[in-house]
């Protein structure tokens, strides 16, 4: 990245000109030959990995074809955006609820500040603009240019013939995804025709998460006690511990996203009044609610379900108890190398955590140890979280 490019990205990342104190969507600038411009990031982009977002998948199918989104190629697709030959930006760089279904009404604050500067700094060889709603807006900002520019609607499915032009144009510039093409072989995760509302996204991300971990952890037997310990205990547990951390992140992000979406669209903040330190400061603004959800998302979930879906409150409390325990395990792994210290202990012993509904997760030699049964327990928590959110959407 050039010094000027570095400064520009730093400025974008720290911009707080929009309401809600959100972090703008941004990538690094390092001379990528392909510039992708779309209208507006989704709320999920703030909380979830790109590979788990259906919005991102549709964009990638339009660029590369579904043949290259099967599991063994997914890392290459992501690297193309992170350190390859694609620079992705938005006309408006912060998610804003009021524009979700009104892209033609997007304001120009981000584009006027940054879009032309991004283009001048990047000097791409190809520009692809996704979204008919922003075609005229982008043309007005970037002006006449000799750079080849392709305008297309944002893909809903991604494999329509109109995107063949895009695939042919980007293919010569690919650093990691060497080819493009539509295969339609194997399972493609798409629930658009059978599900409605947010359940489409939840079920997609649930399946994507499980596909990521649908592999056997290789274990080989060593000759010495140290080798056996390392290969049979340490290495598998490191993999399983990473799965535990990822499972917690999946559940946390799904729940936070659901809560944020609800309170973006509704002004009924009284649901959270009992959780606020200063209930007298009323009404709160959305920034206050965002901060509250970040810190007390489990309590906020219980409060929300109690108000909107009281028939599901008991299963919600059971799930929250599991997630609270999972959070302690995750903290021990993420912040303490898996070591269970005295302040972490709180009743956690050599027996597994069956009291909270977790099983197959032990304290072994003072460390968190996840067994094969523990993997099943984590898998069940993912399912329980997705099932609950689909019921209360």
Give CA–CA dist 90/68, Å, rounded: 24
Q: Are 141 and 90 in contact (CB under 8 A)?
A: no
Which of 125-129, 182-186, 291-295 is predicted least confidently? 182-186
- Cβ density class 242-271: b for 16+ within 10 Å, e for less: ebbbbbbbbbbbbbbbbbbbbbbeeeebeb
Can you name the residues that pair with 268 across neighbouring β-strands? none
Tell me what the mean pLDDT of segment 336-363 comes to.
59
What's phi and psi for 98, nearest 5 deg?
-70, -15
224-274 confidence digits (pLDDT tens): 544 544 454 445 556 777 888 888 988 998 899 888 888 877 777 778 777
Residue among 52, 37, 204 at smallest CA distance from 132: 37
Q: Residue 293 burial by CB count (10 A; 0-12/13-18/19+): exposed, middle or buried?
A: buried
Quote the pLDDT of residue 95. Answer: 75
Q: Are 306 and 221 in contact (CB under 8 A)?
A: no
pLDDT band at 48 (very low <50, low <70, confident <90, very high): low
Give CA–CA dist 178/76, Å, rounded: 9
Q: Which residue has the higher pLDDT, 161 or 336?
A: 161
Estimate the share of the chain in helix, then strand, then coil, as percent rounded to the nearest 5.
60, 5, 35
Residue among 193, 242, 257, 199 at smallest CA distance from 386: 199
CATH 1.10.3720.10 describes domain 3-173: no
Long-range contact pairs involving 320-323 (C-beta distance under 8 Å, separation at least 24):
321/356, 321/357, 322/356, 322/357, 322/358, 322/381, 322/384, 323/248, 323/251, 323/252, 323/298, 323/381, 323/385
For CATH 3.40.470.10, list the domain ranges present in the chain.
3-173
What's phi and psi for 133, nearest 5 deg?
-65, -25
Quote the pLDDT of residue 310. Answer: 92
Quote the pLDDT of residue 387. Answer: 93
Q: What is the CA radius of gyration of the chain?
A: 23
Q: Is the pLDDT of residue 28 over 80?
A: yes
Give CA–CA dist 366/172, Å, rounded: 53
pLDDT over 70 percentage in the chain: 69
Q: Is the pLDDT of residue 347 over 50?
A: no
Give CA–CA dist 272/304, Å, rounded: 8
191-213 confidence digits (pLDDT tens): 455 666 667 667 767 776 776 66
Q: Which residue has the higher pLDDT, 15 or 391?
A: 391
pLDDT over 90 percentage in the chain: 22
CA 317 to chain centre: 25
Q: Is the pLDDT of residue 293 over 90?
A: no
Q: Residue 8 burial by CB count (10 A; 0-12/13-18/19+): exposed, middle or buried?
A: buried
């Amino acid at each position: 990245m050039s010094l000027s490019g570095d400064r520009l990205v730093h400025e974008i990342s720290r911009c707080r000109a929009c309401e809600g104190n959100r972090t703008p969507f941004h990538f690094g600038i390092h001379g990528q030959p392909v510039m992708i411009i779309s209208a507006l990031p989704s709320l999920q982009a703030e909380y979830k990995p790109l590979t788990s977002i259906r919005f991102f998948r549709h964009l990638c199918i339009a660029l590369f074809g579904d043949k290259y989104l099967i599991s063994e190629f997914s890392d290459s697709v992501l690297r193309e955006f992170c350190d390859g030959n694609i620079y992705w930006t938005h006309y408006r760089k912060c998610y804003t609820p009021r524009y979700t279904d009104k892209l033609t009404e997007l304001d120009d604050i981000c584009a006027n500040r940054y879009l032309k500067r991004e283009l001048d700094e990047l000097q791409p060889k190809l520009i692809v603009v996704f979204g008919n709603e922003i075609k005229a807006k982008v043309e007005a900002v970037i002006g006449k240019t000799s750079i080849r520019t392709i305008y297309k609607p944002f893909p809903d499915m991604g494999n329509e013939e109109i995107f063949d032009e895009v695939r042919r144009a980007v293919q010569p510039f690919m650093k990691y995804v060497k080819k493009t093409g539509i295969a339609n072989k194997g399972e493609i995760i798409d629930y658009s025709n059978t599900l409605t509302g947010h359940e489409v996204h939840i079920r997609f991300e649930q399946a994507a998460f499980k596909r990521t971990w649908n592999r056997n952890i290789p274990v080989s037997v060593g000759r010495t006690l140290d080798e056996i310990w390392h290969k049979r205990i340490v290495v598998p547990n490191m993999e399983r511990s990473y799965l535990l951390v990822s499972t917690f992140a999946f559940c946390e992000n799904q729940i936070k996203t659901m809560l944020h979406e609800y309170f973006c669209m509704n002004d009924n903040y009284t649901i959270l009044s009992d959780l606020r330190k200063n209930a007298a400061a009323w009404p709160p603004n959305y920034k206050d609610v965002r901060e509250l959800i970040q810190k007390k998302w489990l309590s906020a979930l219980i409060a929300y379900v109690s108000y909107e879906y009281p028939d599901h409150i008991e299963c919600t409390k059971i799930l929250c108890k599991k997630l609270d325990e999972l959070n302690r395990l995750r903290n021990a792994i993420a912040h303490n190398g898996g070591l269970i210290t005295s302040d972490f202990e709180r009743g956690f012993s050599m027996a597994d955590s069956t009291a909270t509904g977790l099983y197959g997760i032990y304290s072994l030699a003072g460390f968190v140890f996840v067994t094969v049964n523990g993997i099943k327990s984590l898998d069940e928590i993912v399912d329980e979280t997705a099932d609950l959110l689909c019921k209360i959407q």
